[in-house]
Amino acid sequence: MAYDTGYTERYMDVPENNQQGYEAGSVALHVEKLPNEPNRLLILHGFLDENVHFFHTNFLVSQLIRAGKPYQLQGEHTCTFTYASQGGTNEQWQMSLDLSDDNRLLTCIIWRPQGKSYLFFTQFKAEVQGAEVEYGMAYSKASTGKDADIPLKPEEFEVTNTAVIHRQGAFRAELSKVVIVARIGHVEL
């Protein structure tokens, strides 16, 4: 758990002494209570915030994806994942959004921890804002244990300056992982 110890502990004591209070105060542990309608939840996070660590925003987004809740994340650099599918299995998905130590690369990974998804996808789009995609890849099966990731065929998706997107008519409906590495700003020579 990452939090501003001086501020938080002043009001809530340490987590070991107030586990119930910390759990009750965590939005991420109560996402099922959030609305299901689009454009109802906007998350703002500045990357220089020292009181609310980005770890918590990342965890919240991961829980929203698992619960299938719509959201918008806005900050200096964001990553969003949208898709349409047929069927439904109450699948759990996770998202990781990380900045490199020098703050020049943004990595966004969306994946299904159990590996293969059982949804029949009709479309998908993983998109970054505030950065330009240098590498993008989509997988039909994510690695689990000894198995390796199985990438989609190049004709099934396209990588643009800001996104990894399905190709209409060529995408074969299987998706378990999307990876984007994007450069923030540009380096002067």
Res 74: pLDDT:
66
> How many other CB atoms are found less than 10 A from the CB of residue 59?
20
Evaluate if residue 26 carries a pLDDT over 70.
yes
Which of 97-101, 113-117, 142-146, 181-185 comes out lowest in average pLDDT? 142-146
Nearest to 77 by CA among 163, 160, 187, 184: 184
Main-chain phi, psi angles of 8, to 5 degrees: -65, -45
Res 49: pLDDT:
57
Whether CATH 2.60.40 fits 78-184: yes
pLDDT band at 188 (very low <50, low <70, confident <90, very high): very low
pLDDT, tens digit (0-9, with 9 covering 90-100), for 42-86: 777 665 556 666 677 778 888 888 888 887 776 667 888 888 888
Q: What percent of the chain shows pLDDT beyond 90?
A: 31
pLDDT band at 163 (very low <50, low <70, confident <90, very high): very high
C-alpha 140 chain-centroid distance: 18
Q: Spell out the domain ranges in the chain.
A: 5-75, 78-184
Res 167: pLDDT:
97
Main-chain phi, psi angles of 109, to 5 degrees: -125, 130
Question: Which run of H or E residues covers position 73?
Answer: strand 72-75
What value does the mean pLDDT take over residues 157-166? 98
- The token duo for 155 is 């004709």
